């Protein structure tokens, strides 16, 4: 019997999580049973939504349990199989991250096609959940039209950077925010028209207004807070606000006030809609076809911030909340 290492939730965070809330454990890994597949994880994902699962409260996914292994997206290689659908060497995705290896029923795995020149890690980013989130939220809710102005908060993250580039491919003017000058420079290098460092710009409202003097038509929200107020203030009539995430509030220990200008949604006839990516799961084949095409044409670029080793997974996760990543935050496991 082999062993493997995994990360457990040691205690529930109050406010910003830190290393004390996680525990590295070594567990036995037996041979796979009938119908099971054994996988060695190559990369695992950490994502802001995981913070919500650390609260003990009902949500769209069950909370993580204290003392149990955490879960999340992962890409791995099959090392042994008792199912005819998988063979050693197959690359698969699962929701069994935060561990170096595991046994699982074949139904818990998805075999991934190889794309020349593209690392399997892309299936945790631009070709995975963040990419589908960006593509579906923008196209199905934002419905950008050529010539419109799209404002993206958290523009240098895995979702935001994909949104910004897709909006450009749709013929839109794009404004995006990020927290460092280096991230803003990268956004401009992939075609963003105006990249704003929200930490140093002074007035965010003034900076976005200067970039979009006629207002914005679509806002893709990854941040909430002041960004959302600015978007409402500058929204044109019939603008669409795509509410994907509000990371500014994820670690709040007290209720945070809503936008002070929320009443403007009425007068401007604004559509404001939240969503969870699983609502668009049926569109994944269409997304993969379109995104793969753009990648092969060299029309989409992406960045990854990679921490090395299972023991670094908590550091990678905590780093999401200080903006230490450009693009997708990953942990390399093998």
Average model confidence (pLDDT) across the chain: 96
Environment class of residue 252 by beta-carbon count within 10 Å: exposed (0-12), middle (13-18) or buried (19+)?
exposed
Taking only the tens place, the pLDDT of each residue in 72-127 is 999 999 999 999 999 999 999 999 999 999 999 999 999 998 888 899 999 999 99
- Split at pLDDT 50, 70, 90, the class of 238 is very high
Taking only the tens place, the pLDDT of each residue in 20-47 is 999 999 999 999 999 999 999 999 999 9
φ and ψ at 176, to 5 degrees? Answer: -140, 150
Query: CB-side exposure of 331: number of CA atoms within 13 Å?
Result: 27
SS3 75: strand
Rounded Cα distance, 12 and 65, in Å:
9
Bridge partners for 44 per DSSP:
74, 331
Is residue 300 scored above 80 in pLDDT?
yes
Rounded Cα distance, 243 and 222, in Å:
7
Radius of gyration of the chain from its Cα atoms, rounded to whole angstroms = 20
SS (H, E, C) 155-182: CCEHHHHHHHHHHHHCCCEEEEEECCHH
Helix (H), strand (E) counts: the chain: 8, 15
Rounded Cα distance, 184 and 320, in Å:
17
Rounded Cα distance, 52 and 274, in Å:
16
* Contact call for residues 241 and 232 (beta carbons, < 8 A): yes
Q: Give me the pLDDT at residue 117, please.
A: 87
**What domains sit in the chain, N to C, each tagged with a CATH number?**
2-125+302-332 (3.90.180.10), 129-278 (3.40.50.720)
Taking only the tens place, the pLDDT of each residue in 48-79 is 999 999 999 988 889 999 999 999 999 999 99
Is residue 256 scored above 90 in pLDDT?
no
Q: Give me the pLDDT at residue 252, please.
A: 87
The residues, ordered by sequence, that sit 6+ positions from 257 with a Cβ below 8 Å of its Cβ are: none
Q: Give me the pLDDT at residue 115, please.
A: 85
How many residues would you count in the chain? 334
Q: Give me the pLDDT at residue 178, please.
A: 98
The residues, ordered by sequence, that sit 6+ positions from 187 with a Cβ below 8 Å of its Cβ are: 155, 156, 161, 164, 176, 178, 195
Helix (H) or strand (E) holding 236: strand 235-243
Environment class of residue 15 by beta-carbon count within 10 Å: exposed (0-12), middle (13-18) or buried (19+)?
exposed
Taking only the tens place, the pLDDT of each residue in 127-179 is 999 999 999 999 999 999 999 999 999 999 999 999 999 999 999 999 999 99
Q: Give me the pLDDT at residue 38, please.
A: 98
């Amino acid at each position: 019997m082999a062993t493997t290492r995994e990360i457990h939730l040691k205690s529930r965070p109050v406010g910003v999580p830190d290393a004390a809330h996680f525990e590295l454990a070594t567990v036995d890994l037996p041979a796979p049973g009938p119908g099971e597949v054994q996988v060695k994880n190559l990369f695992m994902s950490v994502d802001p939504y995981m913070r919500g699962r650390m609260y003990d409260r009902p949500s769209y996914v069950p909370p993580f349990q204290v003392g149990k292994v955490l879960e999340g997206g992962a890409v791995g290689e099959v090392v042994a199989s008792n199912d005819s659908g998988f063979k050693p060497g197959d690359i698969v995705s699962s929701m069994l991250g935060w561990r170096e290896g595991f046994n699982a029923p074949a139904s818990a795995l998805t075999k991934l096609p190889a794309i020349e020149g593209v690392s399997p890690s892309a299936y945790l980013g631009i070709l995975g959940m963040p990419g589908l989130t960006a593509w579906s939220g923008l196209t199905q809710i934002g419905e950008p039209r050529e010539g419109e102005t799209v404002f993206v908060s958290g523009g240098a993250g895995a979702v935001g950077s994909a949104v910004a580039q897709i909006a450009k491919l749709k013929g839109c003017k794009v404004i995006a925010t990020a927290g460092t000058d280096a991230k803003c420079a990268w956004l401009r290098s992939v075609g963003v028209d105006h990249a704003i460092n929200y930490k140093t710009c002074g007035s965010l409202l003034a900076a976005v207004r200067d970039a979009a003097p006629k207002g914005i038509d679509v806002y893709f929200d990854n941040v909430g807070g002041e960004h959302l107020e600015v978007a409402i203030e500058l929204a044109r009539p019939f603008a669409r606000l795509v509410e994907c995430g509000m990371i500014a509030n994820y670690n709040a220990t007290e209720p945070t006030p809503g936008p002070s200008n929320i009443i403007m949604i009425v007068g401007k006839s604004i559509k404001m809609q939240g969503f969870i990516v699983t609502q668009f799961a049926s569109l994944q084949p269409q997304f993969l076809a379109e995104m793969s095409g753009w990648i092969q044409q060299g029309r989409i670029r992406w960045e990854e911030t990679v921490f090395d080793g299972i023991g670094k997974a908590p550091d990678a996760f905590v780093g999401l909340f200080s903006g230490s990543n450009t693009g997708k935050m990953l942990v390399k496991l093998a």
